[in-house]
Amino acid sequence: MIGFSRSAISVLNGAEPSITETPNSDLIHMGCRPKLLAIPSLVKAAIFESFAGQNMSESEIDVTPSIKQCIQSNFGFPVDTDTEFIYAVGLKKTEKTLVTILETVKKPWVYISGPTVNPTGLLYSNKEIENILTVCVKYGPRVVIDASFSGLQFNYEG
C-alpha cells in the first residue's frame, strides 16, 4: 500500500490558497481559489470555434513526435524505434487499464498529468491515485506525476 507521509497529509489538509495583490501586476497566482478564475462561456465558445475552424491535416495534429522529443530531452528517456506510447482511453488512467498495459511492456514509464485536476476536467480522487500507484509498485515502472494544473478548477457550467 502506498500513501502520503503524515507530514505531507497535514500540509495538504491545512493548505489554504490565498491571493497577494500587487498593484499594476500582470501575474496570475495559480494557487487562487477556483471561482476567481472562472472563464466566461462566450470566451470558451470562441476558443472552441477558433480551433474547429483551423481545418488541420492529420500530420499537424499528431503530437507523438513532439512528445517523444520532449520526454527524451527533459527526462533522458530513450525514444527510439522500440519506444511505444500507450495512451489512456478518455485521457484518464485507471488501475484496470494500467495492469493490462504494464503486463505487456518492458521497462515501462507511467506519466500522470495533473493528479488532482487537468485541462480535460477529469479529476483523480485520492483513492484513484492510491490504486494507480499500488499497481505501479507491483510492476515497477518509473512514475512521473505532473501536478502543474493543481489548484485550477475548470468550470463547465454554461
The pLDDT tens digits of the residues spanning 64-107 come to: 777 778 777 877 777 776 666 666 555 677 888 889 888 888 87
Distance separating alpha carbons of residues 95 and 72, to the nearest angstrom: 26
Q: Are 137 and 2 in contact (CB under 8 A)?
A: yes
Q: Which three cell numbers stand for residue 55?
A: 481545418
- For helices 126-139 and 95-102, what crossing angle results, to 10°? 10
pTM: 0.43
